[in-house]
Homo-oligomer: A and B are copies of this chain.
Amino acid sequence: MHCVRFMAESSSAGVLERDFLVGEVPGVLWSPASALGGAPLVLMGHGGGLHKKTPAQAARARDMVTSWGFHVAAIDAPGHGERPRTAADDRARTDMRSAMAAGDHERFKAVSIGYTRSLAARAVPEWRATLDALQRLPSIGPDAPIGYGGGVSMGTAIGIPLTAVEPRISAAIFGAGFFVYEDLLAAARRITVPIQYLVPWDDEFVTRESAFELFDAFAAREKTLHANPGDHRRIRWIGLDNEFLPRHLGRATAPTA
């Protein structure tokens, strides 16, 4: 069982940012500079080709810390950020690029699904080990409410199977923008916690119908679909229910400095 090893630390505007390793997996933990007990922990999964500190994700994380006193953790997905890619990962990426260049949508879709499934199969146990380690930090502890805080696209393709098997997660933000496949629908059917679900309304790769099929699959009694105009790369975090996470996770038990 791994512990969190903190590798670097900085602080600005009331947010403590600590790089860490759990085993070989690099992550980052954003926390209130003066954390008090009982703060929820939100896990964030980045999109394909991006990494744990992608600016948009880091900005959302910092906002959660300062608005609600949350801890927010992100890790690099396999073959992303600081992590090496396997030969199979490289092949999949090359194949996706060549299929795209050839305009072969069916091949692009098939390779993309295979690659995503492989990443999710590796990432789910990494997230669970990271969660185990984070819960052993005194500032978080075993009783902190835990949410999955988003990431559309690949962040959701990993977050759905994670949430399906992880009873510690009690609310989740997911987003469309990737090809839906049967394993993923099966995982969604096991999820009963409240879901906020974002759809990039004009995704150029993925049909609306497949995004709806995934939304319909969630077994959650409370689930809301949000769609803003925009393509795959320009998902906009506006017009949403911003109180979704604090409503379900609570807030820190006292204000943080």
User: Which residue numbers of A lie inside 8 Å of B, CB to CB?
Assistant: 196, 201, 208, 212, 215, 222-229, 238-244
Contacts and interface: CB of A to CB of B under 8 A. Distances in A.
A222 B215 CA distance: 23
By secondary structure, the A interface counts as mixed
Contact of A225 (B225, B238, B242): B225
Please give me the 9 A-B residue pairs with the lowest Cβ-Cβ distance, nearest first: A224-B239, A225-B227, A239-B241, A224-B228, A240-B241, A226-B226, A241-B241, A224-B226, A223-B229
Given A239-B241, A241-B240, A242-B243, A224 B227 contact: yes
Contacts of A224: 226-228, 238-240
A196 B239 contact: yes
Given A224-B240, A225-B227, 5 more contacts: A208-B212, A224-B227, A225-B226, A226-B226, A227-B227
Contacts of A215: 227
Nearest to A244: B239
Contacts of A240: 224, 241
Nearest to A218: B229
B222 A239 contact: yes
Contacts of A244: 239
A101 to B, nearest CB: 30
A226 B238 CA distance: 12
Contacts of A201: 225
Contact of A228 (B223, B239, B242, B243): B223
Nearest to A224: B239
* Residue among A196, A215, A222, A229 facing the most chain B CB atoms (10 A cut-off): A229
Contacts of A228: 223-225
